[in-house]
Amino acid sequence: MAGISFLDEHRTWVLTGETSTYALRLGEDDVPVHVYWGPALPATAVVELIGKTLPWWDGFNDPGEGVDELAADGGTRYWTPALQVRFADGTRALEWRYESHHIAAGHLRLSFADRHYPLRITLHYRLRGDVLERWTELSAGTDVEVVRADSATWALPIFEDYRLSHVTGRWAAETRLQRGFAHHGETVFASRRGITGHHANPWVMVDDGTATERHGEVYGVALAWSGSWRLTTTRASTGRLTVSGGFGQDGVVHRVGPGRPLTTPVSAGLYTAGGFGAASRAWHAYVRAHVLPHPGELRPVLYNSWEATGFDVTEAGQLALAERAAALGVELFVMDDGWFGARTGDHAGLGDWHVNRSRFPDGLKPLVDAVHGLGMQFGIWVEPEMVNPDSDLYRAHPDWVLHHPHRRRSELQRQLVLNFARPDVAAWAHEWLDRLAGTADFLKWDMNRPFSEAGWPGEADQDRLWVDHTRAVYALLDRLRADHPGLRIESCAGGGGRIDLGVLARTDQVWTSDNTDALDRLRIQHGYGQLYPARAMSAWVTDNPNFVTARSIPLGFRFHVAMAGVLGLGGDIVQWSEDDLALARELVARYKNIRAVVQHGALYRLRPPVDDGVTAVQYVLADRAVVFAYRQSAHFNAPERPLRLDGLDPAAKYLDPDSGRTHSGAVLLAHGLPLDLPAGDFASVVIRLDRIKI
């Protein structure tokens, strides 16, 4: 039975999810120690796994290393520390003393104190189905320096080998899946940029090297944090592997003291059997049910004006685009950069968030009213955390940006970063965003550069800006949403630079990449979908040739790739041909028909985009399934193979309403679906399957 139980005699807690169990205990020295994580076990069986502290067998290896629930620096523990503290007298070692525990509504709190110093530690565990959320609270009666404060240490079973799955990338090439065996020692995945980052993402999956898409045990750990972060896997010669992760970075110290507690972000862990596919579906279900603010909603088809106009924004031009977008079936019109201040290029005006009256003589209201009159919602682009040096805001408040007094202020994209940890900066941002949110239905919140010269002159604890900036952004998003319940928000950071469980808890979708090339997007979306659901994956159809890659791809292929997420349009649709407009109208209507299946259904990766042949994904929701198949390149006149589907009822029949064909579920699962792809490169098809009710 799912829930949390305490085995008093064994000083052990057992947390049982829907299909998995996690257990921990108190060692003889009160250190919280890992017992078990894996397939569901009854509490009576967990008792068999509870052992005494092992004796030392040499003078170099503590037998308890690698099994601490929060590996603390000190004593003879030399494992990668999740918690490092430095007391006022220079003492670094921590000695645990157990105080109490509390269980309520699937939430376990374990309270500890140091045996000598006035430091308190509370470990939190919360069950969300099979996902276990963990975080740590620190408080102190006197000032304590916290050198490292990870949210949790996750101890994995001892396997013969370990393989790590994660994503890497860069701007316009985010979330590319990587799999490789874990090295001995420490492997660190991190961002020191003040944001989640394009180059990595705060999650890792671990298996024993034999898992496939459909088979095998997979363990996953993901961090809910949008600032600098760090995940460390540690593999010892004794056979143990752990994953430790949290916010912060080397050299940044958290200061805890009276009235200054520290709470780490959530570190979420998940065990699944059934391979990487089952792991992804479980993560998606968790995000939809427990992370996203409005999980039951269907995200609208949007149009964004950026690629059509760039900075050349006018009321008449935006209205022409809005009229064309509405005629195509678009539901949300988003005006991008260039509507405010002296923003005629990227060199000036950022930070001056007042309407450019030479472009909008009567303000935004006429355009907003026109968009609403066309039956669409109105959205607008903002970049609250940045400022151009050439702006009225910077001239008035040069001290508001991150800087050091005797160092140059590095500009990226002609921008500097505002210090949102400052209450006056946060108040300024709320004032104008609150006004704008009273006009707009949707904000595209961008963040186009990482931190540099991250100083806060005059502040005694400057390191706190690394955490407090992100928390201030969170607080502002939370406040805007509370005050404007109808407001919906997209997270963007030069594309996919801020995608994580922390920002997804406060936004409705994320901009996956500035690269809208459909061929590249297949790989970007493949990596994104390992952890995050299509319900939040914004994907646009843009013009030929693509502005990032200069590649030309047929319009139907571009649509079919974008339709596997939250569909958007971003091209200069005023210039599209009548044939392209007719196809766009047809495919927007088709997307609306399948949208619920894509956004709320279970994802099955049928053929990954690991080569340039056919790749395919499938979504299943209740009695409906949708298959997306793409031939990237045709080689040697290779015969087309049937596509074996997944997630269907083998005893049922399924109707393809477009061809009129009826298929046996058993045949689709065992033999496959004929694709009948058009000839040549960049051929694609979307196939709907409806279960026939008997």
Catalytic machinery residues? 446, 514
- The residues pairing with 233 across neighbouring beta strands, listed in sequence order, are 187, 243
Nearest-angstrom CA–CA distance, 305 and 618: 30
Name the residue type at position 226. Answer: S
Beta-carbon contacts of 172 under 8 Å, excluding residues fewer than 6 positions away, are 495, 513, 514, 515, 520, 548
- CA angle 521–523–527, rounded 5-degree value: 110
Nearest-angstrom CA–CA distance, 190 and 19: 31
Helix (H, G, I), strand (E, B) or coil at 463: helix
Cis peptide upstream of residue 545 (ω within 30 degrees of 0): yes
Q: Which of 148, 246, 168, 229 is nearest to 194 (CA)?
A: 229
Q: Which of 410, 411, 418, 409 is nearest to 384 (CA)?
A: 418
Pairing of strands 377-382, 332-335: parallel
597, 590 in Cβ contact below 8 A?
no
Nearest-angstrom CA–CA distance, 121 and 123: 7
194, 200 in Cβ contact below 8 A?
no
Neighbours of 323 (CB within 10 A): 15
35, 25 in Cβ contact below 8 A?
yes
- The residues pairing with 204 across neighbouring beta strands, listed in sequence order, are 221
Nearest-angstrom CA–CA distance, 150 and 366: 50
Nearest-angstrom CA–CA distance, 193 and 228: 6
Whole-number CA gyration radius for the chain: 26
